[in-house]
Amino acid sequence: MSQSDPSQYTWAGRFSEPTSELVKRYTASVCFDQRMWRQDIRASLAHATMLARQGIISAADLADIERGMKQVADEIASGVFVWSVDLEDVHLNIEKRLTTLIGDAGKRLHTGRSRNDQVATDIRLFLRDAIDGVDALLGEFQSRLLDLAEREAATPLPGFTHLQVAQPVTLGHHLLAYVEMARRDAERFADCRRRTNRLPLGAAALAGTTYPIDRQYVAELLGFDAVCGNSLDAVSDRDFAIEFCAASALLMMHLSRLSEELVLWMNPRFGFITLADRFCTGSSIMPQKRNPDVPELARGKTGRVFGHLVGLLTLMKGQPLAYNKDNQEDKEPLFDAIDTVTDTLRIFIEMIPGITANAESMRSALRQGFATATDLADYLTRKGLPFRDAHEAVGQAVRRAEERGTDLAQLSLAELRQFSPLIDDDVFAVLTVEGSLAARDHHGATAPRQVRAAIARARSPT
């Protein structure tokens, strides 16, 4: 087994033999944590600025660090930076290159901090940026849903319970349910951001530092709302990552429910919608196929985000205070959750405008499901019949219509009066889909007027 030179490591002074190649590969994280390089450089510059302000390093050292970090950033951004597994992670790779460029000033950068509080800071900065990106995408997602809901505000759609036709709603009203879910998702991510936005830097390895640092100043430079109040907790806390994955799991669950409906509605047995061809694929053997691969895959990707949540909970559940190497395993699930949520929202934002509603197919399904039966029961109740008696009478009428192979509205007045003498000519206005929709005219209900009002409220900045 080949060995590496221990002198390249910042911690090598204690060790009498080099780290094995197997251990280097097993413990290295640079292949995935290098994506935090912007946050690492930003946090290091803030730390250096504070050190110089406190007189811990000189102004000349700060100038050298700023100059060297600019070159490091330029090299990484242009793709010429050489990432080394030998240097384990993004932090040591950047520090090593900085020291190579500017000498002793680079070695002074790490004064008063540890990799423990350094990585905790970087990951919070990274997640904060990611949450801001998700929030913007959620806003755009809601906007696209609202556009489609407005277009279909009065388009009748079967509302289902138990996946059986229940009552008429409008497609616009149905879509607004997902707007409500997305609003709650946005609230959860905003709440997660508040707890993420606390500065661990200054906790050092676990106990703080003997240097006269100013943590509040660093927090101000980096845009943190507060500093972490306990040094042990600061370096070992990963609640914010778990909370992000929990919010992501709920968001993906909502997108999966929408995906399931899109898949069902695309099926010719439903035929409620058509997805634009650019979001479908064909079959290698069946030339007639138009497969809704995007919602199917979104439905499938939901499971991986659920898994990341469980994985992080499991990662943390047995750790004693303070930092443990286990925490290196927090990044890949967190990064993948960020990527999955971000990519899924982006593709839904593009896909939703390409949804075409097939109004006649939805109306046909309403005719098959006795969707206005509850309206007939309410009609009889308003005429003075107790609701339970009305429910029984309408059930008998439905059975008769089912035997005849017709809808309730197609039964004659004479036939309907067999089930209750309270039924009169005005009943047929009640039994229409439009009458059923218009009658549900209160806040949060499905009347087209209320749907349009809900859309207007959702678009209002207040």
Name the residues annotated as catalytic: 162, 283
DSSP state of 18: P
Q: How far apart are CA 41 and CA 31, in angstroms?
A: 17
Alpha-carbon torsion (145, 151, 152, 153), positive or negative: positive
Paired residues of 168 in beta bridges:
158
Cβ neighbors of 379 (< 8 A, separation 6 or more) are 423, 427, 430
What distance lies between CA 154 and its chain's CA centroid? 30
Query: Where does residue 202 fall: left (phi above 0), alpha (psi -120 to 50 degrees), or beta otherwise?
Result: left
Helices and strands in the chain: count of H runs, count of E runs: 20, 6
Q: Which tokens hold the place of 226?
A: 């507060």
Q: How many other β-carbons are positioned within 10 Å of the β-carbon of residue 359?
A: 15
Residues 178 and 175: their CA atoms lie apart, in Å, by: 5
Are 337 and 244 in contact by the 8 Å Cβ rule? The answer is yes
Locus of tokens 């405008």:
353
Helix, strand or coil for residue 159? strand
C-alpha span between 409 and 412 (Å, rounded):
8
Nearest Cα neighbor of 230 from 208, 214, 213 is 208
Number of CB atoms found within 10 A of residue 24's CB: 18
Instruction: Give CA separation, 122 vs 108, 199, 257, in Å.
Output: 19, 10, 34
Neighbours of 282 (CB within 10 A): 13
Q: Is the peptide bond before 276 cis (omega within 30 degrees of 0)?
A: no
- Residue recorded with tokens 């510059």: 45
Q: Which of 449, 453, 277, 448 is nearest to 356 (CA)?
A: 277
Report the distance separating Cα 39 and Cα 42, nearest Å: 5
226-227 and 198-199 strand pairing: parallel
